[in-house]
Every structure is written in structure tokens, then in C-alpha cells.
Chain A
Amino acid sequence: MQDRKKILGIIFSNMHDEMLRELTEKRTMASVPFGGRYRFIDFTLSSLVNSNIQSVGVITKSNYQSLMDHLGSGREWDLARKREGLYILPPFGNAGVSGIYRGRIEALAGIMGFIKHSDARYVVLADCDTICNYNIKTILNEHIEKEAEITAVYQRKELNAQNCRDATVFSCNESGRITDVMINPGIQGECNVSLNLMIMEKALLERLVTENMSRNLFSMEKDVLQAKASAMRLYGYEYKGFCAKIDSMRDYFDANMMMLNKEVRDELFINNGPIYTKVRDDMPAKYGLNSKVTNSLIADGCMIEGEVENSVLFRGVTVGKGAKISNSIIMQDTSIGEKSVLNYCITDKDVTIKDNRMLMGYLSYPVFISKASVV
């Protein structure tokens, strides 16, 4: 029997890249490392899989080598299937179109064949800048109940000078209907901030894409949500669970530090189903004599002989004797020499910090050390 509520997932892997410029220089937003062993896309992809979605397309644009490497055949998400599963959709260039899209609508136009081929009734569009573990089924149920044409998910969030650069804000009436859409309004205070997660019938999406492309309109926010707010039944769904939307390096830093909270970890990693990621087959973390670790998240393969506090250590990090790491995010395979001191630092993958180095940032401005640097 055909599943009347079958959903097709589409993930945009390159949206908002410029918001984390340091981290997305050599990778997509989707493949930014997070939380000791994950990449951003793991949260979106696992949410979809935990919501029992069998077919997911990932739209790529540029720098997507690391993403391809991470996703592989989709086996870790149980998406390596004969029927459906994971589809990586690289830019499709031909004589007329360069393949590099200018907005969501144009990106979707490039994968129209993939969308049309699916037998799902609904389609969910998601980005990779949110750290959460949501269930699409509950959102779909509300979508059906309200007879909405498009349901867009938002979160109540405090906007400040830093994170309002990339925010779409909804105004909703009491029934939840979206009455106004503001794109990067530059306002501050608590708002209904879009999580760039929306659901609609696939047939509607196909129509909207064709219609907008014929008028050379390619922005989902401007040309669909904003332009049709009054003409269509647009509803907002407030997501009340844990969700960290990453719009700046500060957000990135804070969200990593939130992982040190057990309630947050339980909600994100356990209660709503697991977050899957690529496995690495490393040994469990090893603690040496006189190691001292407090309030930190430590991944497999780490070897700790020094001190670590209030930090997140990714897989395969080594901390030498007498070193002290505080308030830092240390990515995969970073090696920290003896007696080095790091405070408020973010080191990208494969960084080497030699012995007796001292690096100090500040909460509002963590020091960032780019991939494979030697200090």
C-alpha cells in the first residue's frame, strides 16, 4: 500500500556558508565539524532518518569533497538502499545553466528530475545550520490538521547585532498563520526566527519552482514565502525542543559548549533517536597518569596526559604532559605539545601545537587556527 504520508527529504548543504567563513573555507556548511565527532549534516540527516524518511537528496554547490567523503554511500544513516536511500546531487551544468545556483528555487530546478521521480506525497526542505533532532512526523501532522499549503518551522530566539545578519523572521497570527515575512530585518530582541525547515506537498513544490523559474525568480524566502504570504496558506510551526541555529562563530562556539550540559545531550542524542555519523574505528580515549579533565566532552582516540577543562575534544586529539586546555574546541587529530596553554581557542583539523606554546582568545573572540597549521 502506498504510504499516504510519505515524505521526500531535500537538504541544502551550502546555504549560509559565509556565516562561518573560517570553517567553510575548505568545506560546505554541511561538513563543518561539531560536538566532538559530528558534522552539521549529521543532525539534519539523522532527524530525517529518525522520522522514518527513506529517501533523501543532498544538494551541493561548491567545496563538497569533504561532504562526499563524509556521507559515502549513506550506510551509517542506513540510507545505502537499493530502493531509495541517499542521493548526492552535485550541480548540474549544461549549455544554458552554469550549474552554480543563485537560490533555492534555482537549485531545486536543477534537480527537478529527482523530485519528479519520487513517489512521495510530501517534501521537506532543510538546511544544515541547525543542531537539533526533530521529528518531521509531528510537523506533518500539524501541517495536515491546519490544511496548510506550506508549513515553515521557526524558533523563538533572541536576535542580537551579530546573528541578525542571516535571519528570516515570521509574524504569525493566533492560529499560527504567517502574516508577514522579513528577511534580515536587522531588528533585535526575541523573534520567530525561521529554521529554514519547511514542508509542503511535492506537487506544490514542483508548481512553485516551474512558475518562479519562468519569471526568473529564484529565492525561496523572497519569491515564495514573502511574496505569497497573503495569497497562500502559510503556517508557522514553533519548534520548542532544543535547537541551536548557528549564524556566527560565536554561535558555533556557544553551541559546542552547550553539549557539556547533560540535559541537552540527552535530548539531542538519546530521547529522539540517535545522531548517526561516519565511524572511524579508533580506540576508546586513553587517560594517562596525572591527567586532569573536568566538564569536557572527549571523543574516541584521544590521548590525554595534561589538563582539560570546559572543552570539546574531537577524535584522535593528543594532549601532552603539563599542557592545559580551557574553554576550547579542539578538532580531529590536533596534537598539543607538552606544557602548552590554550584558552578560548578553536583549532581546525590536523593542527599541531608544539611544546610550550601559549594561545589565548576571549569568550567574545575565540582564537581560530586553520586546518593543518603548525604553531
Chain B
Amino acid sequence: MIRKKEWIAMLLAGGQGSRLHVLTKNLAKPAVPYGGKYRIIDFTLSNCVNSGIDTVGILTQYQPLELNEYIGNGQPWDLDRSHGGVHVLSPYQKATGSDWYRGTANAIYQNIHFIEGYDPEYIAVLSGDHIYKMNYEKMLDFHKAKNADCTIAVITVPWEEASRFGIIAADEDSRIFEFAEKPQKPKSNLASMGVYIFSWKKLKKYLEENERDQNASKDFGKDIIPAMLADGQKLVAYPFEGYWKDVGTIDSLWEANMDLLDPKVPLELHDPSWKIYARNPVMPPHYVGEEANVQNAMIAEGCNIFGTVDFSVLFAGVTIEKGAVVRDSIIMPGTVIKSGAVVQYAIVAEDVIIGENCVVGMRPEQVENKDDWGIAVIGAGAKLKAGSVVKPKQMIDADRQEE
């Protein structure tokens, strides 16, 4: 017998995140570390739990190993339930053949059986690529109050950036009359956040129709939303105010981390009423040594700091040796920065060793030609020999040993 759930969430975590380059070489984008102890997906998962959603399907297909292991049975997010809970859904073989997920809509379509197992009234379709704190329950209330078929969360973005997003035009009653995916000449600056609530029966109908269309790209933004609009279904825009950031590029990942150090940015992680859950490292508190100098920083458990850290985010178990300097950088778990090394404007991934007196990255004002400047990135597991120099914008891949 099916035990009904009012709503469940489907979390799209299949993207490769190719614009994060070496950081997502062996890792799905939602599993990329963020903010000293989190991974990107922790925000969406915590939002679900804090909004009262107890059943989440996570759709993965790109490099799912580390993500699957991280999610495990969902216990850190309180999603280890006897009915519902978190499920990692990878593409699987069926009697009629097998297929990768071909687009976001196809990914949901391939898991219709999973969804029907809970017989939900509503379904939240979310992406695991953003940093934000949002109460989906309020959005569901809005969806019900508007008697909508689909509700899309929207945020106001600067006009000059509007062409990077799915842009929505809505009337004063929030009803959407136009949706344009990355338009060249945006008609509004309301961007879709990639957070949807659908009445499940409606969505199912459109997914099935879309599947029958051989030429469709099987994507929510390109097919499903435009088709629903064309049929005169009721689509409404739910306005969201607060911090929301796509961390799909090196620059935006760096910025999103630095935002945590800015007291003016409205992203409070120390909030007992809206905790962001994550798998916790089993490590002692971090230690700051006799000659260390730490300011404007976020530092996780298990770090040992003997050098200088300024405007930086350090993940669990990082060692900064005496005389090493880390500024405006993100250092991921287990990395060691040896004495005399200077790391500036850089993202250093997990378990890297930066040898003595290495120079990684530069301050923008130190670079003559502004086009040559960018965040330096060191991929997971890389070992830099003493005295190596990594230029701004350069990326080091552990498998291709440094030049």
C-alpha cells in the first residue's frame, strides 16, 4: 500500500560543472567543498529538511562516487527515514533499454516510478548548484494560495547580468506570461532560481508528452515551462529576497566563499533556527600557534596554524606552517602549506601540498595587464615542489605534474 506524502523534492545533481575545471575533475559539482565545512549540496538539502520535506531524490550521473558516499544514508541531514528519506537516483537499465539522463526533464521522467511511490500532491524540483537559504514551505503555501500549476522562485538580478539567466516576465498578480532562457535582450530582470514547485499530476502529463517528442531537448527551461505557458497553464513567480549565488565558475565560487567573511552579506550560517547540516569532520578544535596571525577568516576543526591567514576560508585539517602567508584564498581539507610559501587569490583543493617558498597567485594590483589576472587553482592531491611558482589564472592538475 502506498503511504501518501503531500510533497517530495527532486534534486538535480547531475551536472558536470565543467566551468569549475580541475575542481570537478573527479567530483560532481554539488559535492564541491564550500564555506569551511560544507559542500554545495548541503544548502539545498538543509533547506529541504528545514522546510519540512522528508523525502528527497538526488539525481546524479556525473562522477557520483564521492557524492554518493557523502550523502550515505542521509543521517547528517536527518534524512535517514523509515518511510522516505534521501535516495540517490542514478540512471539504470530498464526492460526497454537504458539511457543516461538526457536533460533535466528526462531525469525526472526516468524516475516517475520513484515519485509515484509516494503519491505526492506536489513536487519541488531543485538544483544542487546554489548557495542560499530558502523556506520552500512558504513557497508551497504561495503555490496553493495562487492555485497554480507551477511556481517558479525568482530573484531580482542586475540588468547587465540578466542575459545569463532564465528570465521571467510576470504580471502584477505574479502570473508568468513569458519565460526566456538566457535571452540576449532581457525584458525583465527577474531571474529563475532553478527552484520549481509543480502540481505533480500536471508535471507528469507534460513530462510524458515531452518524452514522446523526438526533437525535444528534454529540459525544464527549454521545453516543459514553455509548453505549459503555451497551453495556458497557471505559472506564477514566487519572489525571493536574500542571498542566492550560483557557484558554477571559479570566480563565483571564490566570491561566494569570500562573502562569508563580509559582515554586510546577508548569509548567516550561525542560525540555530535554520541550521545548515553537513557531514562533520571528527577532529579536535583548530589550533592557532604562538607566532600566528589570523584575521578576517573562517577556520574549521583540525587546522594547525603557525603562519599568517587573512581574508581566507580554511577547511578541516589544513596546516599553515610558520612563515607561510595565505591571503584572499580558499584552502580545502587536509592541505598543507609549507613554511615561506605565499598563497594569494587562490583556490587550493583537497590534500594538496604546497612546498616551501612556493608562490601561488598574485594580488590584482601586482599584475600589469589586468587580463592576465585571475584566481589560481590547484587541483586535489597536487604536490608542488619547493619554490614553484603558480601564476594568477593558472590551473594545476595533480595528474599533470607541475612544470
Contacts and interface: CB of A to CB of B under 8 A. Distances in A.
Interface string A261-282: 0100100110000111001111
A297 B298 contact: no
Interface residues of A, number: 41
Contacts of B284: 35-37, 259, 265, 268-269, 275, 297
B282 A276 contact: yes
> By DSSP majority rule, is chain B's interface helix, strand, loop, or mixed?
loop
Interface in A134-182: none
A81 interface: no
A283 B36 contact: yes
Given A281-B278, A283-B37, A293 B288 contact: yes
A290 interface: yes
B301 A281 contact: no
A214 B313 CA distance: 63
Contact of A289 (B275, B280, B289, B295): B295
Interface string A97-114: 000000000000000000
B290 A299 contact: no
Interface in B264-300: 269-270, 275-278, 280, 282-300
A356 interface: no
Nearest to A76: B282
A361 to B, nearest CB: 22
Interface in A49-77: 75
Contacts of B291: 294
B313 to A, nearest CB: 8
A17 B236 CA distance: 63
B295 A262 contact: no
Contact of B296 (A37, A287, A316): A287
B292 A262 contact: no
B310 to A, nearest CB: 9
A259 B294 CA distance: 20
A35 B280 contact: no
A296 B294 contact: no
A290 B295 contact: yes
A284 B300 contact: yes
A294 B301 contact: no
Given A281-B275, A287-B299, A299 B285 contact: yes
B52 to A, nearest CB: 18
Interface string A294-333: 1111111101000000001110100000000000000000
A314 B301 CA distance: 11
A260 B280 contact: no
A39 to B, nearest CB: 14
Contact of B290 (A285, A291, A295, A300): A295
A285 B298 contact: yes
A295 B288 contact: yes
A199 B290 CA distance: 42
A294 B35 contact: no
A35 B294 contact: no
B285 A37 contact: yes
Interface residues of B, number: 37
A93 interface: no
Given A274-B282, A284-B36, A301-B270, A260 B287 contact: yes
B75 interface: yes
Nearest to B271: A283
Contacts of B44: none
Given A291-B295, A301-B270, A303-B270, A284 B285 contact: no
A284 B313 CA distance: 9
Interface string B201-214: 00000000000000
B55 to A, nearest CB: 21
B47 interface: no
B292 A293 contact: yes
A268 B287 CA distance: 14
Contact of B277 (A281, A288, A314): A281
A275 B284 CA distance: 8
A240 to B, nearest CB: 22
Contact of B289 (A285, A295, A314): A295
A288 B310 CA distance: 10
Nearest to A37: B285
A21 interface: no
A116 interface: no
Interface in A250-266: 259-260, 262, 265
Contacts of A301: 270
Contacts of A287: 294-299
Given A283-B270, A296-B287, A291 B37 contact: no
A286 interface: yes
Contact of A35 (B260, B285, B293): B285
Interface in B291-333: 291-301, 304, 313-314
Contacts of B287: 260, 262, 265, 296-298
B75 A298 contact: no
Contact of B304 (A37, A262, A313): A262
Given A283-B37, A303-B270, A297 B296 contact: no
Nearest to B304: A262
B276 A291 contact: no
6 contacts: A274-B282, A281-B76, A286-B270, A287-B298, A289-B296, A303-B270
Given A284-B37, A287-B295, A298-B288, 16 more contacts: A36-B284, A75-B75, A262-B287, A275-B284, A281-B276, A281-B278, A282-B270, A284-B298, A284-B314, A286-B297, A287-B294, A293-B294, A298-B285, A298-B287, A299-B285, A301-B270
Interface of A: 35-37, 75, 259-260, 262, 265, 268-269, 274-276, 279-301, 303, 312-314, 316
